[in-house]
Structure formats: C-alpha cells, structure tokens
Amino acid sequence: MQLLKRLPVAVPIVLIAQLAFAGTSSAFIPGNTLLPAGNYHITTRSADYFVCCTATVSNLSVTVTDTTTVAKPAVGPSTTTRETDVEVDTCDSNFVCGSACFIAAGPSDFTISGLSSALLNTAFDPATSQPCPDRPISGLPAFTLNVSWSGISPVGTTTKTSIYSCAGYNAEVHTLNSNANATDSAVTSLFGSSSIPGESGNLGSNDQRWHTQGVALDTCSPQGLGGGGKGAGPGPTGSGGFEIAEQIAAANFPGGFVSLATVTKLNRPTGTPPTTFKETELTVASFFGFPSFFLCFDLQSPNTFTFGSGLSSASVHAVIDQTTPACAGFSNGPFTSFTADLTWTATGPLASIQNTAISDCGSFHQVLLSTDSTNPASASGNVSLIGDISSPQSSINSSDRRFQDTGTAPQGCILRP
C-alpha cells in the first residue's frame, strides 16, 4: 500500500505507540471555548484499539469518538447534533506510515452498548470522506475497517461538579465519566482480510450537563473546565489524605520559558506519620539556542522570590551558581552562573474553577476537592542566560488539590474525570 511517509527503523516502538494515542485525551469544550449562556447536554462515547509489532503491522491504532450535543442557548434556536470521528494511525512492517481522521458516513457505522460492547463498521475514501474538524486527511488510501470491542470489569466511574467564574461569566458543569478496559479485534483492507487481535483497548462514556450565564470575555481561560485539565486523574495511591498546593508564574517567549513555582505536598497515609514536602522552583528553558538547556533550581531563600496576594503579581531576583541545589529529582548538569530578575504583573481577568470529583472502582473510593485559578499577566526583566525578556502572554496561577482515598484500586481500573 502507498502511505504517507517512511519512518526510520530506529524510531522506538514505544514512541510510535505514544504518538498514536496522542489524540485520545478528552476535551469536551467545543473549539476549546466557553459555551454561551444557556443549557447544554453533551454525551460522548468512545472506543480505543491498539496493536503493535505483528508480522504484518508495526502498529495500528483506532480511536472512535461519538458525540451528541443538545444545545438550548439563551439566545437562538435549540439544536441537536451528532458526529462520529474515526482516527486511524498505522505503520506496516516496513515502517511505511500514514494516518487519517474522518467523520463516519452514518450513525450506524458505530454502535456501543454501555461499556459492555461496541462495533465499528466503516469505510474511508480520501476523495469523499469528510475530515475531522481542524484535522486534514492525509496519507492513507481508501480502506474498509471493522473493529469489535468487549468490555472487561472493573469499571471505573467518576462524578464531577465544576463551578467556573470569570468577569461576570459563570458555568456549572456536572459530569459522569465511566471507563473500562476491553478485548478487541480488527479487520481492515489495509492489511488483508485476517482478523488482528488488539493488544489493548478500552471503552468510555462521558455525560455532561452545562448551565451557563453571562458573556465570557475572550481573555477568560477555559482551562480545566469540561474535560481533563488541572486535577485530572487519580491522585496518590493508598488510603489516607493527601494535599497538593501550588503557585506558578510562567513567562513564555519564542523558543523557551521561565517559571517560578512554589509547591507544598502534605501526605497523611493511613497508619503512617504524616510527611510534608515544600520547594520553590525556578525553571529556565531555551530550546532553539545553542546550546539549548532545561534547568530547574530550588530557591531556598525566601528573599529571592515573592507572590502577591490574589495572583496580582510575582517576582524573582536570584543569583544562580553551582552551589544552588537542583529541584527534587532533577539533574541540571553543567551550566554557567547567571542572574534572574523577572517581574510578573497581572492584567486580568481572574478566572477560577472549583471541582468536586468522586471516583470509584472496585473497593477503591476517592474524593477530590480542587480549586484552580489563573490570571493573565505580563512579564518583564532579564535572565542573563537568555537576555532581556518581555512577555505579554504570561500568567500567574494557583491550584489546591485535596484527596481522600480509601481502599485499593483493582488492576485494570481506568479513572478519568
């Protein structure tokens, strides 16, 4: 078959697998924007298939996302829409690779029964198939594709309530997310007529109900609302209470970034004395200069940094040399001593989101309470390793996550908010 390109044989199979699944994370905000005032019911059902390293297939991944949106905006007519996106990434045994993301021709192409079973029976034609939004079709010839899934216990579930506010705009989102591993097999004309058992698969459903009021400014950040994001995923393992609090000031510029972060972690595992970890981290990165570098330092003197109240400002004034300790778990390697003098000033508006999520899988039970806030900011100053910095697209953020865990999650649990 004629595919898009030939990858070097030296590309690790694990990396290919990671790239194949790069588009599977959930993001349920249409166009990554905040929804207008009104009420919305968004139901997303998904199925993933992956196989690696057979005699005829180096890798084959299939991701199906079936989304139905019932929209009742405060202004304008009510609408109901459904779209089934099919994403295929594959390499043959010679590492000739290609991909396609297309909208299934009809609703019968994909059927799913809870998290117990699903069936995809579809076809792709580069001349006639409609591409996924913002995903041009490339690299694969016409093919047929049949995939079947059968769900496996245990089923992981998370119920989540999110309350978002920004400059007079408010949104309340209730989410029920369920996921399970699955056995699966595929038949595709790309690789003949034989059935190809999957190496891994899963089935998922996400049910969201939005109630929104007001008008969202273009500068309001929707990060963390309606899908994954800050606080996503299960927290520390084991029974007990766990708290993680952070303040982060980030300055982005072409080819790199500088960030200042305070991190506090409090662990209170059941039957074990509590432990506390606290660190203030200065990260300096440049990716396109020569030499490029990624450095992280623990600022142990509080005189070298400040965070203003209400995410209004932040600053760092530090001299970094070989005696400055690296961040926990980090190795900086050789570097030239430098100074960092940088100030962040908030420009607004301040956006905040409060999440309450309850996750269950087998005997495992977790309650997560989290608060995340972000304030757009400008940053200016000098880092002598880099030079003068003026970054109007910066931010000052905070997050606080409190987990309470009981029980132990059985092997195979998938918990996604």
Average the pLDDT over 252-263 and give the result: 94
Could you tell me if 364 and 267 lie in one domain? yes
Question: Are 254 and 127 members of one domain?
Answer: no
Q: Is residue 414 part of a domain?
A: no
Quick one: pLDDT at residue 271? 86
CA 247 → CA 23, 252, 341, distances in Å? 29, 16, 18
Q: What is the CATH number of the domain that holds 319?
A: 2.40.370
- When pLDDT is cut at 50, 70 and 90, the band that residue 243 belongs to is very high
pTM of the complete model: 0.78
- Tell me the HSE value of 379 on the side-chain side, using a 13 A CA sphere: 27
For residue 244, being part of any structural domain is answered with yes
Q: How far apart are CA 308 and CA 303, in angstroms?
A: 14
Same domain, 278 and 392: yes
Q: Model confidence at 95, in pLDDT bands (50, 70, 90)?
A: confident
Sole residue written with tokens 């009104």: 38
Sign, CA torsion 17/22/28/30? negative
Judge whether 179 and 414 are in contact, CB under 8 Å: yes
Distance from C-alpha of 414 to C-alpha of 37, rounded to nearest angstrom: 33
Decide: 246 and 230 in contact? Cβ < 8 Å: no
Asked if residue 361 belongs to a domain, the reply is yes
The yes-or-no verdict on residue 239 having pLDDT over 90 is: no
pLDDT at 395 over 80: yes
What pLDDT does residue 32 have? 46
Q: Give the percent of the chain with pLDDT over 90.
A: 70
Does the residue 286 lie in any domain? yes
Instruction: Indicate if 263 and 198 belong to the same structural domain.
Output: no
Least confident of 119-128, 171-180, 223-232: 223-232
Across 125-168, where does the E strand assignment appear?
A: 130-131, 143-151, 156-166
Partnered with residue 358 across adjacent β-strands are 159, 367
Rg (CA), the chain: 24
Nearest residue to 50 (alpha-carbon basis) of 85, 22, 8: 22
> Is residue 255, in this structure, part of any structural domain at all?
yes
Check if the beta carbon of residue 57 is closer than 8 Å to that of residue 191. Answer: yes
DSSP 10-46: TS-HHHHHHHHTTT-S---SGGG-PPPSEEEEEEEEE
Whether 224 is covered by a domain: the verdict is no
Between 413 and 33, the more confident residue is 413
Tell whether 198 and 60 lie within a shared domain.
yes
Q: What three-state secondary structure class fits 389?
A: strand
Same domain, 117 and 251: no
Q: Are residues 367 and 305 in the same domain?
A: yes
324: three-class secondary structure by DSSP: coil
Same domain, 248 and 357: yes
Tell me the pLDDT of the chain averaged across its residues: 86
130, 325 in Cβ contact below 8 A? no
Structure confidence at residue 225 (pLDDT): 62
For residue 296, the one-letter residue type is C
Question: Cis before residue 291, ω within 30 degrees of 0?
Answer: yes
- 């490029």: which residue's tokens? 292
Report, in this order, helix, strand and coil percent for the chain, each rounded to 5: 5, 60, 35
pLDDT digits (tens, 9 = 90+) for 3-49: 333 222 222 222 222 222 222 223 234 434 789 999 999 999 999 99
**Count: domains in the chain:** 2
- pLDDT at res. 218: 85
* 102 is a domain residue: yes
Q: Are residues 14 and 141 in the same domain?
A: yes
| Over residues 236-242, mean pLDDT | 77
Residues 253 and 355 reside in one and the same domain:
yes
pLDDT at residue 80 is higher than 70: yes
For residue 81, the enclosing domain spans: 5-23+34-155+181-204
pLDDT at 166: 94
176 in any annotated domain: no
Give the residue among 98, 99, 32, 41 at the shortest CA–CA distance from 67. Answer: 41
One domain for residues 189 and 263: no
Average pLDDT score over residue span 336-361: 95
- Are the beta carbons of 46 and 203 closer than 8 angstroms? yes
> What is the SS3 assignment for 355?
strand
Asked whether residue 193 falls in the same domain as residue 245, the answer is no
